[in-house]
Amino acid sequence: MLIVAGCTSAQGASLGPGERAAPAAVRAAATVPDSFSPVVVTPISNPTFPWLGSDRKYHVSYDLQLTNASRLPATLTKVEVVDAKRPDTVVATLSSRQLVDPACEYGACNLLRMLPSSNATDTVMPPGQSRALMVDLTFDSLDQAPAEVMHRLFLTGQAVPPAAEPSPISYLAAPFDISSGKPRVIAPPLRGDDWVAANGCCGTGGPHRPSLNSLNGKLANSQRFAIDWMKLTDEGKFYSGDKTKNDSYADYGEAVYAVADGTVSSTLDTVEAGTPGILPANDPVLGPKITVENVDGNHIVQDLGDGVWAMYAHLIKGKLLVKPGDKVTKGQKLADLGNTGNSNAPHLHFQLMNAPSLLEADAVPYVIDRFTYQGQIPYSAWVVTDDYLSGTFLQGRLPEAQARTDELPLVLTVVDFPDA
């Protein structure tokens, strides 16, 4: 079951929310020791920064492109993420099992991706081929997060230019700034109880975190921190009654609100409602009608300032209350939640990004100013549901809900949002 929403990037202590530091290339970059490097490593993401998740841990997520620029096959055995200032300090190790594991459906696995984005079948990279690598780091406190990281590759490949056979080698590559700012603090885009953060960050198993696409001549991932917000009934179900009708779903027609003050950059309000249970991308008739313009259905892009834009997607046709150029305020109603575009059930797809274009933007981390944490649906319960999201999802509820501030709900978190 997938709900796919669209396709479409000096130290941070003094930066305000949403502000970005200068590119890593103009900072005092870490020194990479000279070495022959058959696999070239290039960041796909913009410099980023830690954000606090609903697990009470700090997270950093970004993507790299690996290209075998040698004459011989290169087989990755592991990748170490290290502190750029102290390369002997390992921040995280991505083992071969984490890079490729056909038996794993969800979590910190299958991090090595075929391009644009699908599970790699093995860790072998033939000459001239590229892969993407998803990196998700977790820290118990901000003090544990280095300002900049590098990546030590362990592989069997062309050790020197004259080599005729692969041999084991390792080397450092790709200094990357992970202290380039602070997460934007936003208000909830919805109100009321029992909202589920479907397809949220992090790990594989959903459509957003690995959603790299080749657009405008580059690889981009605007959905790295996107969430498909869906509402449960009091019985813990997503719908009651006829599952093929949008009106049967608990969230259909719910009001969508501006998460901050800003200006509307663009809108689309021409897409008819879809039918629950049918993902257009998988339908032989509907699939060819999907374009980069309508894949997110009816939507609103809002300029929040400081180089950050918000997108609200899959809205009901004719229910958009704003147009490009309109000034909106935090908490203002924008539209009604719907089921348009490449979607198989009503939901709100929400994300922040660093450009107004859904095609070329990179995802921007954010946190929500306040919500009540109800618990988390186990992935084992989620993965067995059908394309209508049938079932009861009361598993994982806490005995007592917890008030939270300035956190990003992680995948399958259940939250209550304040009414105003």
Select the more confidently predicted residue: 292 or 244: 244
Name every residue whose Cβ is closer than 8 Å to that of residue 143 and which is 6 or more positions away in sequence: none
Tens of pLDDT, residues 246-301: 999 999 999 999 999 999 999 999 999 999 999 999 999 999 999 989 999 999 99
Name every residue whose Cβ is closer than 8 Å to that of residue 140 and which is 6 or more positions away in sequence: 57, 58
Distance CA 405, CA 45 (A): 27
Distance CA 249, CA 340 (A): 14
Q: Are 412 and 196 within 8 A, CB to CB? A: yes
171 pairs with which residues across the strands?
153
**Sorting pLDDT into bands at 50, 70 and 90, what band is 5?**
very low
Report the C-alpha dihedral over residues 138, 142, 146, 151, rounded to 10 degrees.
10
**Sorting pLDDT into bands at 50, 70 and 90, what band is 29?**
low
Among candidate residues 95, 94, 88, 91, the one with its CA nearest the CA of residue 33:
88
Residue 32 DSSP label? P
Among candidate residues 337, 341, 370, the one with its CA nearest the CA of residue 256:
337
Helix (H) or strand (E) holding 76, with range, is: strand 74-83
6-20, 64-78, 104-118, 232-246: least confident range: 6-20
Distance CA 91, CA 85 (A): 12
**Which regions of the chain carry the CATH code 2.60.40?**
38-177
In this structure, which CATH number among 3.30.530, 2.60.40, 3.40.50, 2.60.120 belongs to the domain 38-177?
A: 2.60.40
**Sorting pLDDT into bands at 50, 70 and 90, what band is 2?**
very low
Distance CA 366, CA 302 (A): 15
Q: Are 287 and 251 within 8 A, CB to CB? A: no
42-46, 98-102, 201-205, 254-258: least confident range: 201-205
Helix (H) or strand (E) holding 124, with range, is: strand 124-125
**Which regions of the chain carry the CATH code 2.70.70.10?**
184-417
Q: Give the pairing of strands 167-177 and 184-186.
A: unpaired
Count of CB atoms within 10 A of residue 23's CB?
11
Q: What is the mean pLDDT of the chain?
A: 92
pLDDT higher than threshold 90 for residue 7 = no
Distance CA 180, CA 349 (A): 26
Q: Tokens 């059908």 label which residue?
A: 386
Tell me the CA distances in angstroms from 80 to 62, 169, 171, one per residue in order: 14, 13, 10
Q: Which CATH architecture has domain 184-417?
A: Distorted Sandwich (2.70)
pLDDT higher than threshold 50 for residue 8 = no
